[in-house]
Amino acid sequence: EDQVTQSPEALRLQEGESSSLNCSYTVSGLRGLFWYRQDPGKGPEFLFTLYSAGEEKEKERLKATLTKKESFLHITAPKPEDSATYLCAAATISGGYQKVTFGTGTKLQVIP
Amino acid sequence: GAVVSQHPSWVICKSGTSVKIECRSLDFQATTMFWYRQFPKQSLMLMATSNEGSKATYEQGVEKDKFLINHASLTLSTLTVTSAHPEDSSFYICSAPYSGRVRTGELFFGEGSRLTVL
Q: What rounded mean pLDDT belongs to chain B?
A: 89
Q: Judge whether A83 and A108 are in contact, CB under 8 Å.
A: yes
Q: What is the pLDDT of residue B101?
A: 45
pLDDT band at B41 (very low <50, low <70, confident <90, very high): confident
Give tens-digit pLDDT for A71-108: 999 999 999 999 999 999 998 877 666 788 899 999 99
The answer, yes or no, to whether residue B80 has pLDDT greater than 60, is yes
Question: Burial level of B76, CB count in 10 A (0-12/13-18/19+)?
Answer: middle
Is some CB atom of chain B closer than 8 A to the CB atom of A103?
A: yes
Name the pairing type of β-strands B4-7 and B19-25: antiparallel
Three-state DSSP at A89 gives: strand
Q: Three-class SS of residue A81?
A: helix
pLDDT of residue B100: 56
Count Cα atoms within 13 angstroms, Cβ side, for A10: 4
Mutate which of B104, B109, B111, B114 to test chain A, going by most A C-beta atoms within 10 A? Answer: B104
* Binary contact (B109, A100; C-beta < 8 A): no
Residue B18 and residue B81 in contact, taking contact as beta carbons nearer than 8 Å: yes
Q: For CA atoms A67, A69, A73, A76, give the dihedral sign.
A: negative
Is A22 within 8 Å of chain B by CB? no
